[in-house]
């Protein structure tokens, strides 16, 4: 009976870990993403960039139904995002640069990137269960985003992140 209970507890633990990793998708070994709770098409995650080895590059893709091509005008511009991690609003906003915007049918999607140099921030994010992201600046960008806030499940990031190799190439 004791062995059966131990096996049952282990099975439940494994199911929990498996479920947590399901929040994250590894794409082409270069991107690790999770999807928004409000808009499934919103994505939050990380990317590997060998030109920036040793730093974490965070990704954010965001859509807007009302932008009418206006989002493209912000390419190369910075946007500021407030971060609420497990109910705690962080003091500093993260600066994301709009790298690309394009039309996809009836909506426009913007792809943002941010270089994160704070190891402690990444470690805290890896231990979190949910993060809420809210665009706060520039005001002109806020006018064309129909949804300014989305939340993302981050459970399993610590395990999934290890699958994303962002190491520097070895020079011999």
100-139 per-position pLDDT tens digit: 999 888 889 999 999 988 888 989 999 999 999 999 999 9
The pair of structure tokens assigned to 76 is: 């190369």
CA distances, 69 to each of 16, 58, 98, 147, 166 (Å): 42, 24, 14, 16, 34
Rg of the chain, C-alpha, whole Å: 18
- Decide which of 67 and 68 is more confident: 68
Out of 28-37, 78-87, 159-168, least confident range:
159-168
d(Cα 53, Cα 33) in Å, to the nearest integer? 19
Question: How much is the pLDDT for 165?
Answer: 61
SS3 158: helix
* 142 membership: H or E segment, kind and range: helix 139-144
SS3 23: coil
The pair of structure tokens assigned to 21 is: 């990793």
Cβ neighbours of 122 (radius 10 Å): 17
- With a CB cutoff of 8 Å and minimum separation 6, the contacts of 33 are 24, 25, 27, 43, 44, 45, 46, 59
- Ordered by start, the domain boundaries in the chain are 21-161
Cβ atoms 111, 98 nearer than 8 A: yes
Q: 21-161: what fold?
A: Immunoglobulin-like (2.60.40)
Q: Kindly state the percentage of the chain with pLDDT values over 90.
A: 55
Kindly report the pTM of this predicted structure: 0.81
Question: How much is the pLDDT for 11?
Answer: 32
Give the model's confidence band at 168: pLDDT under 50 very low, under 70 low, under 90 confident, else very high.
low
The pair of structure tokens assigned to 8 is: 């049952």
Taking each continuous run of H as one helix and of E as one strand, the counts in the chain are 4, 10
């Amino acid at each position: 009976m004791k062995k059966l209970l131990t096996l049952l507890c282990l099975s439940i633990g494994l199911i929990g870990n498996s479920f947590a990793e399901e929040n994250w998708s590894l794409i082409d070994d270069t991107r690790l993403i999770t999807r928004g709770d409000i808009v499934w098409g919103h994505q939050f995650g990380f990317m590997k960039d060998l030109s920036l080895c040793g730093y974490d590059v965070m990704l954010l893709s965001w859509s807007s139904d009302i932008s009418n091509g206006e989002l493209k005008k912000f390419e190369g511009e910075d946007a500021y995002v407030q971060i609420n991690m497990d109910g705690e609003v962080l003091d500093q906003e993260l600066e994301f640069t709009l790298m690309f915007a394009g039309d996809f049918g009836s909506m426009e999607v913007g792809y943002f990137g941010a270089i994160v140099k704070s190891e402690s921030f990444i470690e805290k994010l890896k231990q979190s269960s949910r993060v809420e992201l809210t665009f706060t600046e520039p005001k002109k960008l806020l006018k064309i985003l129909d949804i300014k806030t989305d939340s993302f499940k981050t459970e399993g990031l610590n395990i999934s992140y290890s699958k994303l190799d962002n190491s520097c190439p070895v020079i011999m």
